[in-house]
Amino acid sequence: MSEASVIITGAARGIGLAIARDVVKRGQRAVLLDRDNPLLDTALESLGPLARGLVVDMSEADAVGLAINELTGEWAPTHLVNNAGILGRKMSFHEMDPDEIDRVLAVNLRSVLLATSAFLRARRPLQSAAIVNMTSIAGVNGGAPGLSVYGATKGAILALTRAMARDLAPEIRVNAIAPGIIATDMQKGVFASEAALQEVVTAIPQKRLGSPDDVAEAAGWLLFGAHYTTGEMIRVAGGRI
Ligand SMILES: NC(=O)c1ccc[n+]([C@@H]2O[C@H](COP(=O)([O-])OP(=O)(O)OC[C@H]3O[C@@H](n4cnc5c(N)ncnc54)[C@H](O)[C@@H]3O)[C@@H](O)[C@H]2O)c1
């Protein structure tokens, strides 16, 4: 029986879509939020009747509130995965573009606050209630050169995860996942060449990139298991730190 209804932001492709697939495979409902309408339609076709999609730009406060508020009855959310994120344009500390800083902060960080508060207003209480926040090992190590704003948003999500875990206990567990390098569209263009990518892979203790399913496996545990785990971060990074 599908008891749970899991909102997943940024779920039309990549890690978010893999989490949605896992939720549906468990017989639970998945609500995919994404700004990319055609991509979302394709994702929904592959997921079937336990999935539903809402086109929303997670950086727009009113739109996020309105979209989540639409979810009532059996679709009223019981769980939330704050996954939407962008790398942003590479910028050195010598030439920061204030508009680009604001854009990355809005999509990666402000959206977590907005989606969480909308979720709390709309939610249907369930024993296993949980929130999973997608951070990154960049949130711990500062991130790649030129991507410091991205790293800063992911570091802030770690602090937020601890604050949320404390404030929302005992009803809702809140944990974070810190992926390493996962083979998704986001990674395309990060490495200057195939040789540069191979060099990075060689430095990963498990000698391969992660897959979206590797991350979804951890998310599934944090959402539906992990009964006495809250405020924690799990790395899914093949041993990379
Ligand atoms: N891929 C990696 O190596 C990696 C590593 C560490 C952390 N992460 C994190 O995992 C999450 C997912 O990454 P991914 O690799 O699957 O990315 P992706 O770019 O493949 O997919 C991201 C999805 O989010 C959507 N999205 C982006 N901005 C949005 C917005 N403003 N509103 C609504 N939807 C929006 C996109 O349309 C897309 O469907 C991100 O938070 C990312 O920072 C990824």
- Mean pLDDT over residues 67-77, rounded? 97
Nearest Cα neighbor of 150 from 137, 163, 161, 160 is 137
C-beta of 59 in contact with ligand 1 (< 6 A) = yes
pLDDT at 120: 98
What would the CATH number be for the domain defined by 5-236?
3.40.50.720
By the 10 Å C-beta count (0-12 exposed, 13-18 middle, 19+ buried), 167 is classed as exposed
For the cut 70, the answer to whether the pLDDT of residue 96 exceeds it is yes
Q: 3-class SS at 176?
A: strand
Give yes or no for a contact between 175 and 224, defined as CB atoms under 8 angstroms apart. no
pLDDT at 24: 98
Percent of the chain clearing pLDDT 70 (strictly above): 100
Please write the tens of the pLDDT for every residue from 141-174. Answer: 999 999 999 999 999 999 999 999 999 999 999 9
- Mean pLDDT over residues 232-239, rounded? 98
Please write the tens of the pLDDT for every residue from 165-209. Answer: 999 999 999 999 999 999 999 998 788 888 999 999 999 999 999
Mean pLDDT of the chain: 97
For the cut 70, the answer to whether the pLDDT of residue 1 exceeds it is no
Nearest Cα neighbor of 172 from 134, 221, 128, 133 is 128
- Mean pLDDT over residues 16-23, rounded? 98
CA of 177 to the centre of ligand 1 (A): 13
For the cut 70, the answer to whether the pLDDT of residue 70 exceeds it is yes
pLDDT at 190: 83
pLDDT at 25: 98
Would you place residue 138 in the very low, low, confident or very high pLDDT band (cuts 50, 70, 90)?
very high
Provide CB contacts within 8 A for 207, sequence distance 6+.
201, 238
Sketch the domain layout of the chain as residue ranges: 5-236
C-beta of 60 in contact with ligand 1 (< 6 A) = no
Would you place residue 2 in the very low, low, confident or very high pLDDT band (cuts 50, 70, 90)?
confident
Q: 3-class SS at 165?
A: helix
Q: 3-class SS at 91?
A: coil
Please write the tens of the pLDDT for every residue from 30-57. Answer: 999 999 999 999 999 999 999 999 999 9
Q: Which of 13, 68, 143, 150 is catalytic?
A: 150
Atom of ligand 1 minimally distant from the CA of 15: 16
- The answer to whether 228 is a known catalytic residue is no
CA of 83 to the centre of ligand 1 (A): 6
